[in-house]
Amino acid sequence: MNENYNISSSPHIRDKATSSNIMLMVLIALLPATIFGIYNFRHENAWLLIVVTTATAVLSEYIYEKLMHKPITIGDFSAAVTGLLLALNLPPTLPLWMGALGSAFAIIIVKQLFGGLGQNFMNPALAARCFLLISFAGRMTYFVYDGVTGPTPLANLKAGEAVNTMDMLLGNTRGTIGETSVLAIMIGAMFLLLLGVIDLRIPGTYIVTFVIFIIIFGGHGFDAQYITAQLCGGGLMLGAWFMATDYVTSPITPRGQILYGICIGLLTGLFRIFGGSAEGVSYAIIISNLLVPLIEKITLPKPFGKGGEK
Amino acid sequence: MGFLTFKGGIHPKDGKDLSKNQAITELLPRGDLLYPLSQHIGAPANPIVKKGDHVLRGQKIAEAGGFVSAPVYSSVSGNVKGLEVHLGPTGNKVDCIVVENDGQYEETEYAPVKSLEELTKEEILNMISEAGIVGMGGAGFPTRVKLSPKEPEKIDYVIANCAECEPYITADYRRMLENTEELVSGMRVVLSLFDNAKGIFGIEDNKKECIEKLQEAVKDEPRMEVKVLQTKYPQGAERQLIYALTKRAIHSAMLPADAGCVVDNVETLIGIHYAVMEGRPLTERVVTVSGDDIQSPGNFKVLLGTNHQELVDAAGGFKTGPKKVVSGGPMMGFAMVTLNTPVTKTSSSILAFSEDEVSKRKSTQCINCGRCVEICPCRLVPSRLAKYADRHDEETFVAQYGMECVECGCCSYVCPAKLPLKQSIGSMRKIAIANKKKK
């Protein structure tokens, strides 16, 4: 008998989902915000910054892996996701070379030096944003809309000025390329929720915690207009749905994800209400990234038969 | 409608349509029959025949090697060719008694049977162990041992595992439809051992015909009930099944009896019926032959010891030649090296696949997506356990409940990075169990 059957440990069937098609879903989900950003900041040529930043991220990964004789992993789309997310977190007027530098930092320093995909302990795009914010504070907080320079709606809000929440919802305001349109972000987020790529645990607890925090400490009590403006302003929505939900840098345990969402909500509230700057989402998320090992340790699920079955 | 279930689990493509409507066909073997001495958990059986002996169908050829063991019977008449080392279905070399089939199927005479009322519990238990009955769902644990808990009066439920949650397999499905009486009778026998117990048939909701048939069959049985389970893998895993039906949960250090339950699968209960009500030992079972590379998938009543090649031939052979052949279900079965192995008491199916979904995809890094955590029926963190296992960190593995794993394979199934999580965890568990024994 001439038989050559494959031998492997069970199970012998596999689900269709792969890491690369999950990343591809995330890329697709970012499209509404990306397209809106390109349109919204067409006078600032936002598309160019998006292309340069994303391409640099992919190229950095390719060059690093080539030089280190590691398998090339750009096909899993994770570098593209990082690059695009970073671009969406940058002001449209940022010099291109700064965007490229941020991407290289995200991929090489934050991701690859710690072992590549799945090994980084901080969200690469956010870490790069914070790196750029510290290095080029002026350029990173320079916002233009329709050729007019000025503060973002969130900064107006912090200064106690009136803001137009409808504009903030639609996105016709100053801000980073991808953060201004809550509507576009939510279309992408709904897509990921429906596909089961993300669930409500992290973004839900994040948003609820933040709202409770600003009701108590925001100085406006239960003011729907103020709460809406806080939620639609700055990077909160982009952060909650696309950055806090990053698999690699969030807890794997279900209860840990809830705790993590609460952590980010508290920190965002703290930074926005009591901090010097109007914004605080990026720092809130990367600080919470650092707490993940601790959170996972105290939220290890109880197994079946020992209380976990319920 | 919310059917009974547990937390976690998966919904793989079930493939049951290939064979579910094929009635059970009897298959008489042509070639030699091989009887491994170890078709069960526990001590191997001891041969009581020698080369040249003439044996009849239903004649004992090896006796139990201890309390946790089971005897083996010849399923054909013919001459004993000897004791040989041969490849078993799991790829291990095993000691087998080889019987040359004379094609007469001359049957031995069985002792006269009594009615259930006339038998004592001890007699019933002895008949079950004498007949060589073991857990035929795949585990192969001697049934007599299972049916002898320390305090039989504390058993509240006798559960018939009619879930058949593994994809492709339809052997139990056909048994439920075609041997409903025998199944109910087997349950009656087991219930007679436990005075305070109720009998529950737990069936997944995708087996509507079986539910109807069984409900009809138990309507005059005050101690029996049919309960409908959600269709989900691994609904038939013992701990998950007990929980779904009774809301009682046991962990790795407990037995079903600790939750007042005894669980037996369909084929086992039917074996119990034949053993006690007809006095016949275990010499046959129903096996599903299916998969996309099988010419005409079906369900066959096979004499134990039959070569798997004959079984595949009976199903019309292969279409093109499979990449992978699996004994048992695709989730927990064994990949077979060769078809030249015998059907044993625990062979529920043989599946042939033209593609191997495992070798087709390369493993990549874990991205911490948490899918394995969401679906783990044992509520573990499989990706982390696999990581500890790969690092040989036995201490952390055990501390984070690695020993609670039932190796259902759901984690490997869902993993988008295609990591062999169950394999890593399973290997570490074996090492940890061995180390525990050493101490």
Q: What is the pLDDT of residues B69-93, one digit of tens each?
A: 999 999 999 999 999 999 888 888 8
Inspect the interface and report whether the beta carbons of A309 and B412 lie closer than 8 Å: no
What percent of chain A shows pLDDT beyond 70? 99
Hey, what are B40's tokens?
């069960």
Q: Inform me whether the C-beta atom of residue B330 falls under 8 Å from chain A C-beta atoms.
A: yes
The CA radius of gyration of chain B, in Å to the nearest whole number, is 21
Interface test with A, best of B243, B338, B362, B412 (most A CBs within 10 A): B412
Is the CATH number 3.90.870.10 carried by domain B123-277? no
DSSP A178-247: TTS-HHHHHHHHHHHHHHTSS-SHHHHHHHHHHHHHHHHHSSS-S-HHHHHHHHHSTTHHHIIIIITT-S
Can you tell me the distance from the alpha carbon of B198 to that of B223, in angstroms, rounded to the nearest whole number?
5
**Which one of A8, A9, A12 would you mutate to disrupt binding with B, by most B Cβ within 10 Å of its Cβ?**
A12
Binding-site positions of B: 366, 369, 372, 376, 405, 408, 411, 415
- The confidence score (pLDDT) of residue B1 equals 47
Long-range contacts of residues B315-319, Cβ cutoff 8 Å, at least 24 apart: B315/B289, B315/B290, B318/B293, B318/B294, B318/B352, B319/B292, B319/B293, B319/B294, B319/B295, B319/B354
Residue with tokens 């192995």: B341
Q: List CB contacts (< 8 A) between B377 and chain A.
A: 304
Using a CB-CB distance cutoff of 8 angstroms, which residues of chain B are in contact with residue A302?
379
Distance from CA of B164 to the nearest CA of A (A): 16
Domain ranges of chain A: 19-298
CB–CB of B361 and A14 under 8 A? yes
Using the structure block, give the residue that is written with the tokens 């009136």. Answer: A162
Judge contact between A35 and A184, C-beta under 8 A: yes
Determine the average pLDDT of the residues in B377-397. Answer: 96
Contact B380 A13 (CB under 8 A): no
Give the number of other CB atoms < 10 A from CB of residue B222.
8
Residue-level pLDDT at B14: 93
Going by pLDDT thresholds of 50, 70 and 90, the confidence category of residue A301 is very high
Q: Residue A289 contacts by C-beta under 8 Å, 6 or more apart in sequence?
A: A121, A122, A123, A126, A249, A250
Portion of chain A with pLDDT greater than 90, in percent: 91
Distance from CA of A243 to the nearest CA of B (A): 14
* Secondary structure (3-state) at A298: helix
The two beta strands, B60-63 and B78-87, are: unpaired
Question: In whole angstroms, what separates CA B24 from the centre of its chain?
Answer: 18
CB spacing of A300 vs B381 below 8 angstroms: yes
- Which of A14, A22, A303 has the CB atom closest to B379's CB atom? A303
Q: Which CATH architecture has domain A19-298?
A: Orthogonal Bundle (1.10)
Looking at every residue in chain B, the average pLDDT score rounds to: 94
Residues of B in contact with A14 (CB under 8 A): 357-358, 361, 412-413, 415, 418
φ, ψ for residue A245, nearest 5 deg: -85, 0
Q: Tokens at residue B225, please?
A: 């009930």
φ/ψ of residue A145, rounded to 5: -140, 125
Mean pLDDT of the region B291-313: 96
Q: Which of residues 142-171 of B touch A (CB under 8 A)?
A: 167
> How many other C-beta atoms lie within 10 A of the C-beta of residue A198?
24
Q: Which helix (H) or strand (E) holds A64?
A: helix A46-67
Enter the DSSP assignment of A75. Answer: G
Q: Which of residues 45-84 of B touch A (CB under 8 A)?
A: none
pLDDT of residue A146: 86
CA atoms within 13 A on the CB side of A135: 12
The two tokens of residue B184 are: 């109910």
ipTM: 0.92
Torsions phi, psi of B143, nearest 5? -65, -35
If contacts are CB pairs under 8 Å, which of residues 152-191 in chain A contact chain B? none
Q: Report whether A50 contacts A84 (CB < 8 A).
A: yes
| Average pLDDT of the segment spanning A39-66 | 96
The residues spanned by each domain of chain B are: 123-277, 371-438
**Do residue A5 and residue B409 have CB atoms under 8 angstroms apart?**
no
Over its C-alpha atoms, chain A yields an Rg (Å, rounded) of: 20
- Report the distance separating Cα A203 and Cα A240, nearest Å: 5
Q: Rounded distance, CA A66 to CA A44, Å?
A: 35
Is the CB of residue B354 less than 8 Å away from at least one CB of chain A? no
Which residue in A1, A18, A309 is closest to B249 by CB distance?
Answer: A309
What pLDDT was estimated at residue A1? 46
Distances (CA, A) of A178 to A35, B51, B165, B201: 9, 82, 46, 56
Single out the residue of A123, A148, A126, A136 nearest to residue A43, CA to CA: A148
Chain B residues with beta carbon closer than 8 angstroms to that of A13: 12-13, 167, 330-331, 357, 413
Judge: A301–B252 Cβ closer than 8 Å, yes or no. no
Confidence of residue A3 (pLDDT cuts 50, 70, 90): low
- Nearest alpha-carbon partner for A181 in A75, A31, A44, A37: A37
pLDDT of residue B152: 94
Measuring CA to CA, how many Å separate B46 from each of B41, B70, B100, B307? 14, 10, 19, 22
Chain B residues near residue A61 by CB distance under 8 angstroms = none
For the cut 80, the answer to whether the pLDDT of residue A238 exceeds it is yes
Q: Please write the tens of the pLDDT for every residue from A125-171.
A: 999 999 999 999 999 999 999 888 999 999 999 988 989 999 999 99
| Contacting residues of B for A304, CB less than 8 Å apart | 6-7, 239-240, 243, 249, 251, 377-379, 404
In this predicted structure, the answer to whether residue B278 has a pLDDT above a threshold of 70 is yes
Would you say residue A42 has pLDDT above 60? Answer: yes
Is the pLDDT reported for residue A2 higher than 70? no
Percent of chain B scoring above 70 in pLDDT: 100
CA A236 to chain B, closest CA, distance in angstroms equals 22
User: Cα separation of B35 and B123, whole Å?
Assistant: 27
Contact A14 B358 (CB under 8 A): yes
Q: B42 vs A148, A253, B328, B350, CA distance in Å?
A: 82, 38, 20, 24
pLDDT at B2: 66
Q: Chain B within 8 Å of A16 (Cβ-Cβ)?
A: no
Q: How many residues does the structure list for chain B?
A: 439
Mean pLDDT of all residues belonging to chain A: 95
Partners of residue B250 in chain A, C-beta under 8 Å? 305
Residues B4-22 have pLDDT tens digits of 999 999 999 999 999 999 9
Q: What is the largest CA-CA distance in chain B?
A: 64
Question: B354: nearest CA in chain A?
Answer: A5
Backbone angles phi and psi of A22, in degrees to 5: -65, -45
User: Cβ contact (<8 Å) for A17 and B416?
Assistant: yes
Q: List the binding residues of B for [4Fe-4S] cluster.
A: 366, 369, 372, 376, 405, 408, 411, 415
- Across the interface, do B412 and A117 touch by the CB < 8 Å criterion? no
DSSP label at A171?
T
